[in-house]
Structure 1
């Protein structure tokens, strides 16, 4: 378990630039679950590309060097935007995947998505990003945590289209996370437990559909 100082540093781009720079070997890392583990879930909850070839606009929030955008691209999702506040990882992923049409890589802070238009996204996906903003007690989060998480979720509400879906995957217990992601009158929220076998560690998928 990371110490308190390291947990606080996770909310800053300098930490991640340094981490990705040290690991600049063309590798990837998946927070929480791989696409293989989640494919059944995504099949159920992601809107599918149309027969006319139109793909839903998907926003990956804090994409890091996850292979999820590439995995989705391989099954027909050709309208994806991947944002991360680490310039190092965005440059790396953009270079490595330059031949894949339909994936844009952008340096952006999820707390201030100023280059993403209002109501422009069909889907937003978070796999570990909100969790990286958390430090201190989850019963009574410190003020910086409250400020960061509120700004982030408000941005997701803003950029999603009406009827759009925000998918957040976490290992955190739902009773801690629901107050952070709930927005009365903005979206409906359901929580799905992602456990593959009895006795395995539970993960949770929050699925929020914007009104």
Structure 2
């Protein structure tokens, strides 16, 4: 298997980097935590499968999470990524999974998703990949990209919809980026730490009013 090397953080915001990466190494990869390790967090917050909530995976890559949720009974899921390579591969891999859709889409401009169409939006490391430079004073490009992204998430979520964001970044650095007082006046932050784990992760839970 080709060894993964760490690229400049700025490269993570460009589809060309990801096209090359997925073409070189198509091995499924989950940022931060695998689906099993975040089951408790998702179980606490996801609506039951019987309610059939439309779920949107933001910057899905080749994560196993959509397949895992499908096995748990969630049948209405759309996974979007701006890498044409990974979307092509995931469509082929999951062709037999009813209710799983894969679309090439830039999360900063999700024209293929209507206003208020989504019940649950899940981000597992995608926003993190958009952040580079100083965490105290991010570059203007980072501010512009992250603002457009969060505004799009707010747009596609229905009233009462959930935005679940899993990150390794300290909450005080992320709050200024995701705060939308007119959309989700407040939100919860949970520590996601498995026993014996070396790294600390955080789960943000935001509900659109």
TM-score range, shorter chain: over 0.9
Q: Distance in 2 between matches of 1:115 and 1:2?
A: 31
5+ unaligned residues in a row in structure 1: which ranges?
none
Q: Which residue of 1 aligns with 2:95?
A: 98
Q: Distance in 2 between matches of 1:22 and 1:201?
A: 28
Q: Distance in 1 between matches of 2:190 and 2:182?
A: 21
Q: Which residue of 2 aligns with 1:202?
A: 200
Q: Which residue of 1 aligns with 2:11?
A: 9
C-alpha change, 1:2 and 1:45, in structure 2 (3 Å) is same
Q: Distance in 2 between matches of 1:2 and 1:37?
A: 24
Q: Which residue of 2 aligns with 1:115?
A: 112
Q: Which residue of 1 aligns with 2:189?
A: 191
Runs of 4+ in 1 over 4 A off after TM superposition: none
Q: Which residue of 2 aligns with 1:88?
A: 85
Asked whether the 8 Å contact 2:161–2:208 carries over to 1, the reply is yes
How far is 1:201 from its partner? 1.6
Q: Distance in 2 between matches of 1:125 and 1:199?
A: 23
| Count of aligned residue pairs for this structure pair | 204
How far is 1:100 from its partner? 0.3
Q: Which residue of 2 aligns with 1:169?
A: 166
Determine which of 10, 23, 26 is the counterpart of 2:25: 23
**RMSD, aligned CA:** 1.3
How far is 1:200 from its partner? 3.2
Determine which of 97, 115, 140 is the counterpart of 2:137: 140
